[in-house]
Amino acid sequence: MIVDNFVDYVKLTVRSGKGGRGSTHLRREKYVPKGGPDGGDGGDGGNIIIRGNSNLWTLQSFRFKKHFKAGSGGDGGGSRKSGISGEDIIIDVPLGTIIKDTNSDNIFFEINDEKSETTLLKGGKGGRGNFHFKSPTNQTPRYSQAGLPGQEIQITLELKVLADVGLVGYPNAGKSTLLSVLSDAKPKIADYEFTTLKPNLGIVAMSDYRSFVMADIPGIIEGASEGRGLGHHFLRHIERNSILLYIIPVDTKNVKKDFNILQKELTKYNPELADKDFMIAFSKCDLMDNELLEEFKVILKKEFKSIPFLIISSINTFGILGLKEELWKMLNKNS
């Protein structure tokens, strides 16, 4: 699976429908010349509804349609006939979509269940017809209510990527290169930071028809949990990954410090991320000769005693097969 058109963030303008006007009709029949008021109520305006759709995996469809307006309610009629209700607008979104107020950044709700429907904006109430205003002192009221207006707001949709394995690491740690080696994804790869500005997904194929989905999350930096480096836009994607694979280059100054910072940023953003299974892949081992690599292994065994880790190179594929098998075992350990 190659994802070239992955869109995980869009802004929309949505408007619910206006309520219809109540009728001021007076009943007039051949044998009932003074039948009194019989104006019906106006119909309610249409609602804006958000619905979960598991067949969608991106917000790509909203790139060219950013305005949604529900139908207005019909006006009431004589003989106490109510106006028709305005047509609802149902907006399908992928599971894992957060709906926020663009102006205040407040979260309205999150869609996580297939076909779950949540009303975002209710349509305007239809106005009451003159029948409701009849009284002993005013038996032929010639007025009715106008329908209430609809509501319009700007919303932001943010999608959390769903994947089996999420790659976590600093910018330029080798995550995109690893994804390109493990799968058929073709992420942008360069030797400068923040090459990846949106998630990349790839299917990791194995023998015996086994496979799993891997997501390359844009690089995390210290302070990401407070929003530094667009941290909030990146960190949300990690929430829906089954397991995490930390990528730390072997040429970093302090591997333990880097790992601790990455873990701290994740748990500060969402403490529940601390409960996810994970392992570490120390990348770019092709930069070391055999003697230096052996010394590095001794250091890792002391620093990461109870943490599963592997040493890999995406350039010469050292440790790649073993990494795939270990990830598969972790994903299926309870099955």
Q: Is 77 helix (H, G, I), strand (E, B) or coil?
A: strand
Structure confidence at residue 188 (pLDDT): 46
At the fourth CATH level, which superfamily is domain 1-159? GTP1/OBG domain (2.70.210.12)
Q: Which pLDDT tens digit goes with each residue over 278-293?
A: 999 999 999 998 899 9
Q: What are phi and psi of 274, to 5 degrees?
A: -65, -20
- Closest to 224 in 3D by CA, of 236, 216, 215, 214: 236
Mean pLDDT calculated for residue range 30-57: 88
Q: What are phi and psi of 218, to 5 degrees?
A: -50, 150
- Closest to 39 in 3D by CA, of 75, 1, 70: 75
Residues comprising the chain, all counted = 335
Q: Where are the alpha helices (DSSP H) in 84-228?
A: 175-182
Q: Is 323 helix (H, G, I), strand (E, B) or coil?
A: helix
Mean pLDDT of the chain: 85
Sorted by where each begins, the domain ranges of the chain are 1-159, 163-331
pTM exceeds 0.75, yes or no: no
Structure confidence at residue 3 (pLDDT): 43
Structure confidence at residue 171 (pLDDT): 80
Mean pLDDT calculated for residue range 236-251: 87
pLDDT band at 235 (very low <50, low <70, confident <90, very high): confident
Residues 6+ apart with CB under 8 A from 206: 324, 325, 328
Please say whether the beta carbons of 124 and 44 come within 8 A: yes
Q: Which pLDDT tens digit goes with each residue over 189-219?
A: 444 343 445 677 888 888 878 888 888 877 6
Structure confidence at residue 36 (pLDDT): 84
- What sign does the dihedral 253-254-257-261 (CA atoms) show? positive
Structure confidence at residue 49 (pLDDT): 98
Same fold, 1-159 and 163-331: no
Give the domain 163-331 fold.
Answer: Rossmann fold (3.40.50)
Structure confidence at residue 195 (pLDDT): 42
Looking at per-residue confidence, does 126 or 228 come out higher?
126
**Token duo for residue 300:** 């890792």
Q: Which pLDDT tens digit goes with each residue over 139-195?
A: 889 899 999 999 999 999 988 877 899 898 888 778 888 988 888 655 444 443 434
Structure confidence at residue 51 (pLDDT): 97
| Helix pair angle (290-303, 255-269), 10° resolution | 50
Looking at per-residue confidence, does 111 or 305 come out higher?
111
Angle 95-323-330 from CA coordinates, rounded to 5° = 55
Looking at per-residue confidence, does 196 or 70 come out higher?
70
Q: What percent of the chain has pLDDT over 90?
A: 50
In one letter, which amino acid is 143? Answer: Y
Mean pLDDT calculated for residue range 87-110: 94
Q: Is the pLDDT of residue 232 over 60?
A: no
